[in-house]
Amino acid sequence: MLLRLYFVLQAVAVLSPLSKLYAKRICHEKGFSVNFAYSIRASMNKHPGLTYFAVFVVSVFGLASLLRIFERPYYSLCFDPPIEDFRTLESAIFFTVMTMASAGFGDITTSTRVGRWLSLVVACWGAIMLSLLFSIIGNIFSLNEE
């Protein structure tokens, strides 16, 4: 699933109008290269809400899939009646969103070492995503003539 997400992102970056020959020529004249990071930054300037939503959805599904991959075998092997924490993708998505929002109810927890490190990454990424969201909302309500 993660490989599919990577290929979708690469296809979006390649087919983006920001990576066409005209954009590449202008960027080459200005002295910087056109790559995936450039496409994301240019898209963020042109359509901030849509770009944020796409990055948020891809990161939630990607991180939830990783957590599910590393946590599901532990729960199914270590508990006699298997605990339902990471058996479904919905519960992994719930855990990821709650950790990203820094709420973390505690009803679903990670138990493996890799899962705990991934939870740390999810929490840090959530802080970055929340600050980016507040920045976008602040720019929408700014009092300028644009």
What per-residue confidence (pLDDT) applies to 117? 93
Q: Which domain holds residue 65?
A: 48-141
Instruction: Tell me, yes or no, whether 25 and 66 share the same domain.
Output: no
CATH assignment at residue 124: 1.10.287.70
Instruction: Tell me, yes or no, whether 28 and 5 share the same domain.
Output: yes
pTM of structure: 0.71
pLDDT per residue of the chain (146 residues) written in tens, 0 to 9: 567 767 776 666 665 665 566 666 777 777 777 677 777 777 777 888 888 888 899 899 999 988 888 887 766 666 655 566 777 888 889 989 999 987 777 778 888 888 889 999 999 999 999 998 998 888 888 766 65
Instruction: Tell me, yes or no, whether 123 and 110 share the same domain.
Output: yes
Number of domains in the chain: 2
Instruction: Tell me, yes or no, whether 96 and 111 share the same domain.
Output: yes
In a domain, 80, yes or no: yes
Instruction: Tell me, yes or no, whether 12 and 54 share the same domain.
Output: no
Q: How many Cα atoms are found within 13 Å in the side-chain-facing hemisphere of 108?
A: 25
Instruction: Tell me, yes or no, whether 35 and 86 share the same domain.
Output: no
